[in-house]
Amino acid sequence: MGLVSVSREPEVREPANEVKFLIDSATAAAVGDWARRNVGPDPYAPDESGCYHTTSLYFDTENLDVLNQRGSYARSKYRVRRYGAGDGAFLERKMKKSGVVTKRRSVIGIHDLGRLADPDAQSGWTGYWFHRRILARRLRPVCQVSYRRLARVTETRLGPLRLTLDQDLLAHRTEFMRFDHNATGTLLSQKHMILELKFRHEMPELFSRMMGEFGLTPAIVSKYRLAASALGISEEVAQAC
């Protein structure tokens, strides 16, 4: 994922159901093989493996209102994401209600990422909407999470299906508006990987069969919450109160 096209208008994706699972490494290997046989390749994957490296900056307030799901902070999550060593940074607002996810995002050049640290949001550039929102909500970078992702997608008569399998999750604290790919991170889980299924309407029969074949049970999983726990962020704020 190298050069990206930059549009001034943010993309608003159609609402999608999102179901997550925590699975062990043996199950993850079997699910990965199943996905390669039954679900098409992600067109943005850099090679035949279908895997790519993903890094995200997660935002929260000084009092961790997002982590503690206080008020309106419980419904939305703000993050900046980079794929591999790509030239683009994806600004994302993810809203989730009753398992249905709505995402608004836009892409800026990686060299513009530092503009989000300015104390005032300047109109006229692609990141303005995101910058304005994080200032209004008093959000700042809290941690960086990176992982290796297998992604598979398929079009059906009911809309697109997407399966992702995330492993080798690493997290470290940060307060800076930049990606640090050389930082020494904390491994979030040596035993579990995160499987995520996305679809527009009811649970697809294809995914139902997979869940039955591998005995999968949905779980409430958040990479940001896993990172905050592993890094001791929530405990420190609780002690300071």
Q: Where are the beta strands (DSSP E) in the chain?
A: 11-12, 16-24, 51-60, 76-83, 88-97, 100-109, 140-156, 159-173, 186-187, 192-199
Is residue 149 helix, strand or coil?
strand
Domain boundaries, given as residue ranges, for the chain: 11-240
d(C-alpha 11, C-alpha 124), whole Å: 17
The pLDDT of 67-89, averaged and rounded, is 93
Q: At what angle do helices 233-240 and 223-230 cross, to 10 degrees?
A: 70
The pLDDT of 91-100, averaged and rounded, is 87
Question: Torsions phi, psi of 46, nearest 5?
Answer: -75, -20
pLDDT bucket at 126, cuts 50 / 70 / 90: very high
Q: Regarding beta strands 192-199 and 16-24, do their DSSP bridges make them parallel or antiparallel, or are they unpaired?
A: antiparallel
Q: What is the pLDDT of residues 1-22, one digit of tens each?
A: 443 444 455 676 778 999 999 9
Q: What does the block give as tokens for 118?
A: 């300015």
Eight-state DSSP code of residue 203 = P
| Beta-carbon contacts of residue 6 (< 8 Å; ≥ 6 apart) | 88, 107, 108, 109, 126
d(C-alpha 192, C-alpha 21), whole Å: 9
d(C-alpha 31, C-alpha 57), whole Å: 28
Neighbours of 99 (CB within 10 A): 11
Asked whether 200 and 21 are in contact (CB, 8 A), the reply is no
Between 121 and 8, whose confidence is greater?
121
Is residue 240 helix, strand or coil?
helix
Lookup result for tokens 């206080």: 70
Q: What does the block give as tokens for 174?
A: 């940060």
First-last CA distance in the chain: 43
pLDDT at 112 over 80: yes
> What radius of gyration, in Å, describes the C-alpha atoms of the chain?
18
Eight-state DSSP code of residue 59 = E
CATH code assigned to 11-240: 3.20.100.30
d(C-alpha 30, C-alpha 165), whole Å: 11
The pLDDT value given to residue 5: 46
pTM for the whole structure: 0.89
Q: What is the pLDDT of residues 157-200, one digit of tens each?
A: 888 999 999 999 999 999 999 999 888 889 987 778 999 999 99
